[in-house]
A and B are shown apart, each in its own frame.
Chain A
Amino acid sequence: MSALQFSREELVNVYRTMRTIRRFEERVMEEMGTGDIPGNTHLYAGQEASAVGVCLQLRDDDYISSTHRGHGHSIAKGVDIDSMMAELFGRASGTCGGKGGSQHIADLRKGMLGANGIVAAGAPITCGAALSAKLLGTGQVAVAFAGDGAMNEGVMSESFNLAKIWMLPIIFVIEDNGFGEATANAHVSAGSFTRRAESYDIPTIEVDGTDVFSVYAAAGEAVERARAGGGPTMLHVHVPRYYGHYSGDPDTYRTPEEKAAMRRERDCLGNFRKRVKDVSLVETAELDAVDEEVEAAIDRAVSAARAAPFPPMSALTTDVYVKYL
């Protein structure tokens, strides 16, 4: 897949979304330092091309589920960054009214079924969404994003099995950043992820997750198969994780040299700029302008979040049920 298949406007939009995720995460990391964002958070920086390349193939009403590292998936699926930033600050104007936080951002209007604090838990839920699409005949597909760590949870294998026997319109996107928390994947994972999926007769594609065009091409094949009734596909997407496992992780288990090399050689934004420059599709100045525009949008989101009220005390016990007594 080459950049030439996109219009100039499409390319700018792809870049804008990836850049928005990158700056959103960098800014969240900075704001964590002020102590005004409660708790901790897991940052998606470095992995942008995966979420953006996949979601570019999706309709507005298609479903995705995400992980504890979910901001990028939400932004790529079209969830509003003002509401997301407010959610991280725990404000009433947040995507979930401040009651979810980073690990539970969900926006059903955008088909975003939720980040998830439990590793691999989104996989069977997404099978259910795919089942809804299939039984209701809507033509929707569902994407379960998961990390390499999720591959060692039993429910992941159970979900592969269910998806295949029911021929669900689902795509499993395994974003392999090489680490489950602070432990290297190689230390804890036997065999190969693609062979695990293939043992269920699920087609797989290995993807360079620093190249949005490769992700887009692989996702296109998977989405087409799902929509045509051909059942599940698994994408094994290799991505770098720029930060530690969570925002407070000093990340000493990776050497300064390897971290520097990762950012130098595996930057999806840098790759994108190089690719479009090579084919003279988008002027560098235009992308620089996008950077400024994104910067301003993130500034506005942070200012608005800081100015927004916390949820009212009455919200403590509302929304537990639709109706209780």
Chain B
Amino acid sequence: MAQKSFRQALNEALHFEMGRDPRVIMMGEDLTGGAGANGVKDAWGGPFGVTRGLLDAFGPERIRDTPISEAAFIGAAAGAALTGLRPIAEIMFVDFAGVCLDQIMNQAAKFRYMFGGRAKTPLVVRATYGAGSRSGSQHTQALYPIFTHIPGLKVVIPSTPYDAKGLLLQAIRDDDPVIFLEHKMLYDTVGEVPDGAYTIPFGEARVARDGKDVLIVAIGRMVQVAEEAARKLAAEGISACIIDPRTTSPLDEDTLLEFTETIGRVVIVDEANPRCGVAADISALLADKCFDALKAPIKLVTAPHSPVPYAPNLEDAYIPSADAVVKAATSIIKR
């Protein structure tokens, strides 16, 4: 199977689905770059190069570079989804959801329910998330807990190139509004990705690594951190299992409960801030449903309750580390 980057995997999914379904359109800021200017067209191929080549393949009617006006174009994407198109709208950094949250939270997420089940909103909102790029507090957050909290939204957080392609194809074909979050530090990661189209169902966790002594639950970029931790634990003779939920809404509760029942020791790694976060949510689920199977307290390794800092030493300390995961795991094994 071909080795491809996370970025290329996403690009293939977009190309494939836009070719298959003429109702799929894209809108966002600098999806191509250079619109209206005299120089190179598709100059950026998207702020992170994910949408490169789509303009050439599908033209400016379907690949729409928007004004810096998220409330308008996310709202327009929601309205277009309600009326027969299948828009993919890009929020360049998920932090910018702050200026268009109404259209996501009060509008797209609620159309179907408020309208008595008589509406479909096949909308995908793609956004980058995550710390590590030295970009300060407003371009780096992991805001998936906010979206996961809102009924009516589905929330997808791929961790590998293979999952990125299959989950994005599923997101575009899905009839509900999907928030699709791409960690910008994952774009250059490489993995096996088939050339053809395939979908990965939402609500099906992936067992990223088998193990028997401790279960590490990790999302998005934190799967990499968990894998590094697992290698370090293996060197100490501790066998770690890693589960990647892949979607936080819907959440694959069955797999999480099943592995917790078997292993009995759990560490949850989450790049989001800790309060009302996904780690806390999963922890509550496991404590509620598998209390008797737990051999130790559930440990959470998260970012601190602070904004993402700029200084490199502080930002590195902000992001959950493999060492912190190792420490949490050993603390519940050797107690």
Contact surface of A with B, Cβ cutoff 8 Å: 63, 65, 94-100, 104, 106-108, 113-114, 116-118, 121, 123-129, 131-133, 135-136, 154-155, 158-159, 161-162, 165-166, 318-325
- Assuming the contacts A124-B72, A162-B72, asked whether A96 and B79 have C-beta atoms less than 8 A apart, the reply is no
A132 and B27 alpha carbons, distance in the complex (Å) = 13
Contacts of A117 in B (CB 8 A): 106
Smallest CB-CB A-B distances: 6 pairs: A128-B79, A124-B75, A97-B116, A319-B117, A125-B79, A96-B116
Contact of A125 among B25, B66, B67, B75 (CB under 8 A): B75
Contact of A321 among B84, B106, B115, B152 (CB under 8 A): B152
Assess the A319–B116 pair: CB atoms within 8 A.
yes
Interface centre among B114, B152, B154 (most CB of A within 10 A): B114
- Assuming the contacts A121-B103, A320-B151, asked whether A114 and B176 have C-beta atoms less than 8 A apart, the reply is no
Of residues 220 through 248 on chain B, the ones whose CB sits less than 8 Å from some CB of chain A are none
The interface bits of chain B over 91-120 (1 if a CB of A lies within 8 angstroms of the residue's CB, else 0) are 000000000001100110011111111111
A319 and B6 alpha carbons, distance in the complex (Å) = 34
Assess the A114–B111 pair: CB atoms within 8 A.
yes
Interface centre among B23, B64, B78, B116 (most CB of A within 10 A): B116
Contact of A320 among B25, B75, B77, B112 (CB under 8 A): B112
Assess the A106–B80 pair: CB atoms within 8 A.
no
16 contacts between A and B (CB under 8 A): A96-B115, A98-B116, A108-B119, A114-B111, A121-B107, A124-B71, A124-B103, A125-B82, A126-B79, A127-B76, A128-B77, A159-B75, A321-B152, A321-B176, A322-B120, A322-B176
A320 and B154 alpha carbons, distance in the complex (Å) = 11
- Assuming the contacts A118-B107, A127-B76, A162-B66, asked whether A132 and B84 have C-beta atoms less than 8 A apart, the reply is yes
A195 and B69 alpha carbons, distance in the complex (Å) = 21
Assess the B114–A114 pair: CB atoms within 8 A.
yes
Assess the B75–A131 pair: CB atoms within 8 A.
no
Interface centre among A65, A113, A128, A323 (most CB of B within 10 A): A128
Assess the B112–A127 pair: CB atoms within 8 A.
no
Assess the A131–B80 pair: CB atoms within 8 A.
yes
Contact of A325 among B82, B87, B250 (CB under 8 A): B250
Assess the A165–B75 pair: CB atoms within 8 A.
no
Assess the A161–B72 pair: CB atoms within 8 A.
yes
Is B162 engaged at the interface, CB distance under 8 Å to the other chain?
no
A165 and B73 alpha carbons, distance in the complex (Å) = 12
Is B85 engaged at the interface, CB distance under 8 Å to the other chain?
yes
Assess the B113–A158 pair: CB atoms within 8 A.
no
A181 to chain B, nearest CB (A): 18
A65 and B85 alpha carbons, distance in the complex (Å) = 17
